Structure 1
Amino acid sequence: MNVLKSLLDLFFPSQCFSCNKRIDKELVLCEKCADELSYIKENSCIFCNRETKEGLICEECKQEYPFDEVVSAYTFNLPLQRMIHHFKYNEFKRIGTFLGNSLADRISKYPFYSSIDYILPVPLHKTKKRFRGFNQSEIIARALSVKLNIPILKNVVKRKKFTQTQTKLKKHEREKNVANAFQVKKFGIIKNKSLLLVDDVLTTGSTMKSIALLLKENLAKHIYVCTLARA
């Protein structure tokens, strides 16, 4: 077994997912790139960066977004962008598990964590999931579920409309793009429950807002949001 491992390491060396430097197979980043990952600073609003004494969304932004709290682990800098690209488009699912574990550590610091009933990964449209082969939000949700000991609810929210990628759209275009894109299939199970929505990157929050409004309409009690990064 050690000989086989040595041969695999020789012919298929593991590389840093940011700079391609050779690293141990157990790692996803070299030491330099790992040090460059930037955590979101605590005690500031995730949307407007105002200082907050308690919570992660300031009172002004809570008027616009139907979330009780939002947690993002990292800023969307270059090393993280490269990692998430490899995760989503090159099927390196262990990156999602690695980052999901970091996000779980962050979530566990906040009091609301103990009240969460279910984790809900943001759904992909069936066409996109078939093309990609997996839903990246489900990989992250799985890591959170294991580490936080909270069950996952899949197939409760369905993405019924195929939407173009949000990457290059402005805020109002994003909101229009995801309008009426989702539906709740099993509304009874979420009634009076506290739910944690999971996605990879938070930009304007349009996708999460669309889903959260739908969940609130179906009598979910609290909606918390978490993402790997804040762009």
Structure 2
Amino acid sequence: MPAALKNIFSDFLMLLFPEFCQACERTLATGEELVCTHCRLKLPYTNVHLQPPELNPLSVRFFGKVPMQHVLAYLYFNRAGRTQRLLHALKYRGVQEVGELLGSWYGHTLRESGYAQAFELIVPVPLHARKRRQRGYNQSDSFAMGLAAALDLPWSNQVLKRTQYTSSQTHKSRPERWENVAEVFQVISPGLIQNKKILLVDDVITTGATLEACGLTLLKAGCAEVNVCTIAAA
């Protein structure tokens, strides 16, 4: 099909079946993907990647608990805001492409800031097998794929396993969150992480209890260093 005819056909399909921005639900313009240009400009970027680790406000959540070299989050989480709507689409409406797109955007940002050599393997926080069956996928895998492609790094969801089904962390205090996840992760492929700088990824960082538990498990299994990267920071 000639390019001009293909473009006309694509525009015709968009008229019949318009795609909507996952952050504001407005109709996407030609060339926009999942998130409209206006929302992309208005997203609440943290820019913590521009700060030295010792001045990074997210790093404070791990002080005295687990050594983290870099603690990164792409966006701030605001209730009823754009970030929450994007995460809702990713986690509950099956739009896995949102995670991959945000991972790609943040990966390119990190690459431009010199982070491409800071990590050797990207590892997503796992879901329990039962939760994965219910949802059909792990939203952190999607984010990991986008980051990996942009940073030109390998990623694997065959490193960590969640061995126990735990209740939601949403309404728990920090001690309750830690107790809920303290011993539920296991490294199932220690050979993949030996002496490597790991970038541990998840959708949201709140108290950091889940990431702390995963980080300690990875360090005990022999990785050289743990770093954290999430889509959003609450």
- Tell me the TM-score normalized by structure 2: 0.86
Does residue 1:120 correspond to 2:123, yes or no? yes
- Read off the aligned partner of 2:139 and give its amino acid letter: Q
Does residue 1:191 correspond to 2:197, yes or no? no
Structure 1 residue 9, shift from structure 2 partner: 1.7
Runs of 4+ residues deviating >4 angstroms = 1-4, 43-46, 109-112
Q: Secondary structure at the residue paired with 1:123?
A: coil
What CA distance in whole angstroms lies between the structure 2 residues aligned with 1:45 and 1:163?
35
Which runs of 5 or more structure 2 residues have no equivalent in the other structure?
1-5
Does residue 1:71 correspond to 2:77, yes or no? no
What CA distance in whole angstroms lies between the structure 2 residues aligned with 1:112 and 1:2?
37
What CA distance in whole angstroms lies between the structure 1 residues aligned with 2:183 and 2:159?
16
- Read off the aligned partner of 1:101 and give its amino acid letter: S
What CA distance in whole angstroms lies between the structure 2 residues aligned with 1:101 and 1:127?
28
Counterpart residue number, 2:181: 178
Does residue 1:147 correspond to 2:153, yes or no? no
**1:50-100: CA deviation from partner (whole Å, max 9, x where unpaired):** x82x89736x95323332211111111310100110111111122112211
What CA distance in whole angstroms lies between the structure 1 residues aligned with 2:65 and 2:183?
18
Does residue 1:132 correspond to 2:138, yes or no? no
Structure 1 residue 30, shift from structure 2 partner: 3.1
Counterpart residue number, 1:57: 59
Aligned-pair Cα RMSD in Å: 2.4
Counterpart residue number, 2:204: 201
Matched residue pairs, number?
Answer: 225
What CA distance in whole angstroms lies between the structure 2 residues aligned with 1:15 and 1:55?
34
Change (3 A) 1:145 1:12: same
**Aligned residue runs from structure 1 range 11-160, under 5 A:** 11-24=16-29, 26-42=32-48, 52=55, 57=59, 61-77=62-78, 78-109=81-112, 113-160=116-163
C-alpha contact (below 8 Å) 1:55/1:69 kept by paired residues: no
Which runs of 5 or more structure 1 residues have no equivalent in the other structure?
none
What CA distance in whole angstroms lies between the structure 1 residues aligned with 2:129 and 2:62?
32
Structure 1 residue 157, shift from structure 2 partner: 0.8
Structure 1 residue 123, shift from structure 2 partner: 0.6
